């Protein structure tokens, strides 16, 4: 089987996903086009060598609809022969795109793909695409489908994470993100977004708030308690009858931020690298996808990680660094507890709580962050994992190959 290599990764800064966010007047196609152009330009890439563009996008309607990946390939000025496909595996879409690209390359049927994702959450609101999973009464009732915030609070309830625990984790995410920005650690991957007349709109992740502490987070009200009162706690507890209430600990400050952003990762075979004159940065060692219990929904990283480690013939101690998407603080906490992983190895530059989670792109962003950090710290193996709506988990092991 051929190997799949990572040749480069580019991402936009993440703008706050509201109408006053820095990227709100930038169309999602512009975010994605910027990423594709940067990958081409800084690698002096002959785009005719690229077979396909695979882009995750979770709300592919409106201006994110109609196969935004192919639209971006055209708009970025890639060779006409470069195809494009949009996929949706909810929050893991960006990593799913990488895995799919990796699989294509490993199969020998494809030479190179740009994989990643895009989400302009300020312009195409999360959930605005509806979906039977969240709306069809029979499905909601049968499978006890609740909003993710309720699921996250159910995890906190089941595994005993207090408000203090989640706020402590979140404050640390902020602290690390502030340090990472100050230390310019995102520089290799991050490309500023400029407007049509060349003015920079945003060159850093907008949501990072220096000075965020456990105390300041402690003032925020639980975000999902009111929703829980509207029957949603009760619906979840029909399946989790061992609990009488759900402990609502998550809020805006310890959950991932809603943001706008895009990312792309250039993945190709060894031959592609040689032909393009590019040096590989990392290899895709193994990946796994798994379904998990859909009501608690967000515990998928645990079985996904077990699965990918088994596939790679590795143990948890073989992994040097982890990126566990901070959809909600309880998820990385659960991950650390289940695998005995120390916080010093996990999300070392902060995560989505401080930096933001542009749904379709995040999987690619945390993979890029992980590879950057493996290189910076001279480490070999990194594992990226995300929890996924509908009850799924994804995990990928990257191997950094330049020492």
| Residue 357 annotated to the active site | yes
Distance in angstroms (rounded) separating the CA atoms of residues 352 and 249: 17
Q: Is the CB of 182 or the CB of 238 nearer to other proteins?
A: 238
Beta carbons of 395 and 308 less than 8 angstroms apart: yes
Beta carbons of 87 and 54 less than 8 angstroms apart: yes
Q: Kind of pairing, strands 83-87 and 112-120? A: unpaired
- From the list 231, 277, 291, 378, which residue makes contact with other proteins (rule: CB under 8 A)? 231
**Contact region with other proteins (CB under 8 A), list: 17-25, 210-218, 230-238, 262-270:** 230-238
Minimum gap (Å) between residue 64 Cβ and other proteins: 17
Those residues with Cβ within 8 angstroms of residue 156's Cβ, 6 or more apart along the chain or in another chain:
162, 165, 166, 247, 249, 250, 330
Minimum gap (Å) between residue 250 Cβ and other proteins: 18
How large is the angle between the packed helices 330-339 and 148-159, nearest 10 degrees?
A: 40
Q: Is the CB of 107 or the CB of 162 nearer to other proteins?
A: 162
Query: Cα–Cα–Cα angle for 62, 364, 101, nearest 5°?
Result: 90
| Residue 306 annotated to the active site | no
Looking at residue 345, what DSSP letter applies? G
Minimum gap (Å) between residue 369 Cβ and other proteins: 33
Q: Is the CB of 62 or the CB of 147 nearer to other proteins?
A: 147
User: Applying CB under 8 A, does 19 fall inside the site for other proteins?
Assistant: no
Q: In a 10 Å sphere around its CB, with 0-12 CB exposed, 13-18 middle and 19+ buried, how is residue 136 labelled? A: middle
Beta carbons of 85 and 54 less than 8 angstroms apart: yes
- From the list 232, 278, 302, 366, which residue makes contact with other proteins (rule: CB under 8 A)? 232
**The one catalytic residue among 91, 248, 250, 251:** 91
Q: How many H-runs (helices) and E-runs (strands) does the chain carry? A: 15, 12
Grouping H, G, I as helix, E, B as strand and the rest as coil, residue 156 is helix
Binding mask 125-154 for other proteins (x = CB under 8 A): --xx-x---xxxxx-xx--x-xx-------
Q: Is the CB of 35 or the CB of 237 nearer to other proteins?
A: 237
- From the list 19, 44, 242, 317, which residue makes contact with other proteins (rule: CB under 8 A)? 242
Distance in angstroms (rounded) separating the CA atoms of residues 354 and 178: 9
Minimum gap (Å) between residue 260 Cβ and other proteins: 20
| Residue 57 annotated to the active site | no
Measured from the Cβ of residue 201, the count of other Cβ atoms closer than 10 Å reads 16
- From the list 126, 214, 227, 401, which residue makes contact with other proteins (rule: CB under 8 A)? 227
Q: Is the CB of 53 or the CB of 155 nearer to other proteins?
A: 155
Instruction: Encode 63-82: b = buried (16+ Cβ within 10 Å), e = exposed.
Output: ebeebbbbbbbeebebeeeb
Minimum gap (Å) between residue 58 Cβ and other proteins: 15
**Number of chain positions touching other proteins (CB under 8 A):** 25
Minimum gap (Å) between residue 326 Cβ and other proteins: 25
Q: Is the CB of 215 or the CB of 244 nearer to other proteins?
A: 244
> What is the set of active-site residues?
91, 357, 387
Positions in the binding site for other proteins (CB under 8 A): 127-128, 130, 134-138, 140-141, 144, 146-147, 227, 230-232, 234-235, 237-238, 241-244
């Amino acid at each position: 089987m051929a190997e799949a290599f990572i040749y480069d990764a580019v991402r936009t800064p993440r703008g706050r996903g509201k109408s006053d966010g820095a990227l709100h007047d930038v169309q999602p196609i512009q975010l994605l086009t910027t990423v594709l152009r940067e990958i081409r330009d800084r690698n002096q890439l002959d785009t005719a060598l690229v077979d396909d563009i695979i882009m995750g996008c979770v709300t592919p309607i409106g201006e994110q609809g109609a196969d935004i990946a192919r639209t971006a390939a055209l708009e970025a000025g890639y060779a006409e022969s470069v195809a494009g496909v949009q996929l949706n595996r909810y929050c893991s879409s960006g990593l799913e795109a990488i895995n799919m690209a990796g699989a294509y390359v490993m199969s020998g049927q494809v030479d190179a793909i740009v994989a990643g994702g895009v989400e302009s959450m300020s312009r195409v609101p999360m959930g605005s695409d509806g979906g039977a999973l969240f709306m069809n009464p029979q499905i909601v009732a049968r499978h006890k489908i609740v909003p993710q915030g309720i699921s996250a609070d159910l995890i906190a309830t089941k595994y005993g994470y207090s408000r203090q625990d989640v706020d402590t984790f979140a404050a640390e995410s902020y602290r690390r993100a502030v340090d990472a920005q100050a230390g310019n650690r995102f520089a290799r991957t991050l490309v500023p977004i400029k407007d049509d007349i060349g003015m920079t709109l945003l060159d850093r992740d907008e949501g990072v708030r220096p000075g965020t502490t456990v105390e300041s987070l402690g003032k925020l009200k639980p975000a999902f308690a009111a929703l829980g009162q509207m029957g949603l706690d009760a619906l979840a507890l029909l399946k989790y009858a061992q609990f009488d209430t759900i402990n609502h600990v998550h809020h805006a400050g310890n959950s991932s931020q809603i943001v706008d952003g895009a990312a792309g990762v250039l993945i190709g075979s060894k031959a592609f690298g040689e032909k393009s004159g590019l040096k590989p940065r990392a290899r895709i060692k193994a990946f796994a996808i798994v379904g998990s219990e859909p009501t608690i929904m967000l515990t998928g990283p645990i079985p996904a990680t077990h699965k990918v480690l088994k596939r790679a013939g590795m143990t948890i101690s073989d992994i040097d660094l982890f990126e566990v998407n901070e959809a909600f603080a309880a998820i990385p906490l659960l991950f650390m507890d289940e695998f005995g992983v120390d916080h010093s190895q996990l999300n070392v530059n902060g995560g989505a709580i401080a930096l933001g989670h542009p749904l379709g792109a995040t999987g690619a962003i945390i993979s890029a962050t992980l590879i950057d950090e493996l290189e910076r710290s001279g480490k070999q193996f990194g594992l990226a994992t995300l929890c996924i709506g509908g009850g799924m988990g994804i995990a990928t092991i990257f191997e950094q190959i330049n020492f």
